[in-house]
Amino acid sequence: MSAIRVLDYDISNKIAAGEVVENSSSVVKELIENAIDAGATSLTVEIQNGGISYIRVTDNGSGIEADDVKTAFLRHATSKISTAADLERISTLGFRGEALSSIAAVSRIKIMTKTKHGEGVLVELDAGRVTKEEACGCPDGTTVEVYDLFYNTPARMKFLKSDRTETARVTDIVERLVLGNPNISIKYIADGRDRLFFGGDGSIQSCVYSIYGREYARLSTPVSRSENGITVSGLAGKAEASRGNRGFQSFFVNGRYVKNRALTYAVESAYENALMVGRFPFFVIHIEIPFDMVDINVHPSKQEVKFANEKAVCDEVYRAVKSALATGADDIRRAFLQSPNRVLQNPSFSTANRFGVASALNEPLNLIDSAFMTAIAQTPPEQPKKENTSYKIIGQLFKTYIIVELEDRIVLIDQHAAHERMIFERLKKSLTEKTPFSQILLSPVAVTLSPGEYAVFKENLNIFSDLGFETEDFGNNSVLVRQIPADVAESEIKALLCELIEKIDKPGGAMPEGFEDMLEMIACKAAIKGNQSLGEEEVIALIDEVLNEGGVSTCPHGRPLMLEITRHEIEKMFKRIV
């Protein structure tokens, strides 16, 4: 008996479908791209249970001729290419003719479609086989409904994530397609709730406002450059809009959302020396390039591309973003110089810490803060009585380390790491005892979130309450923050809230095991920073807390809180002893 056989129709269809349809977001992506290729100017996306039980995409595009509907569900049936030469100049988002057949193979599907001058038709399929075909009344365009995704492929079904995770994936792909098509009106509904609406006014800034909120739209600089047949446009976020990951970075090549490491490196290089380590820029970049200079037939997802001259494309992207950032900085300088309230004389600026101890910014840089030493000399603090603890404060080194003489040794305390650890321990204790360690704001702070962030926030209000937040709905994807974890600065509220939402939204992020990571985030944001002058009371309070906290030697991230040098080691260094 022959060991090699041709697979039957059902098996081969399911294998082919697995390459295109990974999850519900793959289905939504393919259906939206088909609608865009059909010339749609308005479309609605609706899902239930993460898109596993139900997906519907409705568009006002050109529709499909009644005689072509069944053919459209055959493998490699397409109207977008006809010869091998067409693969070298693909101008549409779809072209392989695999999407509809792959979706139909692993679901139950219904399509209603009508062309401008034709009649409406309804076709239903079950696992790729037509079960119903009849004329119907429907508006111009196409509506595709997908039911019970992967119902006939249990092996694929068991690898799907929770409904919330799958919804987040669909939300992400819808948002990317909005950013890539600012001329198309898109409405997105998940589990009966409106999650996103964009009117299609053609403005990328409006897209950003609809998806990421007012702050990201405000903190973005237009990008525009056209050289050597390559046009680069879009928005580049200012440093204040940076994030802790690359989740808010989007590239579009000829309208197609793509991922490309070389392009990412080009943009991030333009931000060199403008962002802190561990921060990543926000941007939406559109690249228009001749179709024959880019190959999109690389991966089934069509999100990977190859350029005929990758270096030239990356160079143009780098120059475009670099120029945009420089222009944004020049605008700030120009506004300052033209301000009628600008002070022309040379003032003496000063800043005060939280305890009212001032330090002049125009003082010469000293190894040990002289203002701090003078304050100690003039008003020696009354040290609380402690058992077996007697220390002398030497000063603050580099505005980052506190030097303490303790018995027969010198102790260098990292002020940020030490304060971070102390806050972390207090937060852990308050969480265990269900007594949030928080502070009420004198003036509530409004925070605008993206639709995705807002949805995650609303679903996890109990977690934020346990962490010490008190908020209320402020409308239009905004929340009003009235209470925050203690010691967190007002300027850190938006960044902290977004990072916590991002953490919760990750698989397992909302589990009890993930709470410790969230407490670390809060402690890090709330802690005294390096290169920050401290007042006398702050230094004393921090030293007392560190020295009285037994068994703690590192910050929550594992860095040491303090280093010790004994008198014996110092005398050996100076050769006073052998």
> Is 345 within a domain?
no
Report the C-alpha gap between 338 and 143 in whole angstroms. 55
- How many folded domains does the chain comprise? 4
Determine, yes or no, domain membership for 380: yes
**Rounded mean pLDDT, 499-521:** 72
**Residues 327, 279 within the same domain:** yes
CA distance 77 to 29: 18
| pTM (global) more than 0.85 | no
CB within 8 Å of 456: residues ≥ 6 apart: 168, 501, 504, 505
Q: What's the rounded mean pLDDT across residues 277-285?
A: 89
Residue 392 lies in a domain: yes
In angstroms, rounded to a whole number, what is the distance separating the alpha carbons of residues 331 and 383?
52
Q: What percent of the chain has pLDDT over 70?
A: 82
Rounded to an integer, the average pLDDT of 113-137 is 92
- Last residue of a domain, which of 161, 176, 201? 201
My answer on whether 539 and 508 are in the same domain is no
* Per-residue model confidence as pLDDT tens digits over 313-354: 999 999 999 999 888 655 545 554 455 544 444 433 333 343
Specify if 578 maps to a domain.
Answer: no
My answer on whether 141 and 170 are in the same domain is: yes
Q: In the numeric block, which tokens belong to residue 484? A: 């925050």
The number of angstroms, rounded, from the C-alpha of 354 to the middle of its chain's C-alpha atoms is 32
Do both 379 and 325 map to the same domain? Answer: no
For 336, counting Cβ atoms within 10 Å of its Cβ (0-12 exposed, 13-18 middle, 19+ buried), the class is exposed
Kindly state whether residue 134 falls inside one of the protein's structural domains: yes
| Domain-located, residue 506 | yes
Q: List the domain range (segments joined by +) for residue 98.
A: 9-201
Q: What is the pLDDT of residues 70-118, one digit of tens each?
A: 988 887 788 777 677 766 777 778 777 788 888 998 999 999 999 998 9
- One domain, residues 43 and 167: yes
61 pLDDT band, cuts 50/70/90, is: very high
- How confident is the model over 551-568, as a mean pLDDT? 83
Over residues 230-261, the pLDDT tens digits come to 999 999 999 888 887 888 999 999 999 999 99
DSSP H helices, 379-482, are 415-432, 451-459, 461-466
- 302 lies in a domain? no
> Are β-strands 391-397 and 283-288 bridged in parallel, bridged antiparallel, or unpaired?
unpaired
Of 333, 364, 381, at which residue does a domain stop? 333
42 and 140 share one domain: yes
pLDDT at residue number 407? 83
Residue 431 vs residue 120, higher pLDDT: 120
| Domain shared by 379 and 501, yes or no | no
How much of the chain, in percent, has pLDDT values that exceed 90? 32
Residue 118 and residue 93 share a domain: yes
**What is the side-by-side strand order in the sheet with 230-237?**
220-227, 230-237, 283-288, 249-253, 256-258
Which phi and psi angles does 72 have, rounded to 5°? -60, -20
pLDDT in tens, 178-229: 999 999 999 999 999 888 899 999 999 999 998 888 888 888 999 999 998 9
Q: Quick check: is 1 in a domain?
A: no
pLDDT at residue 80, rounded to an integer? 72
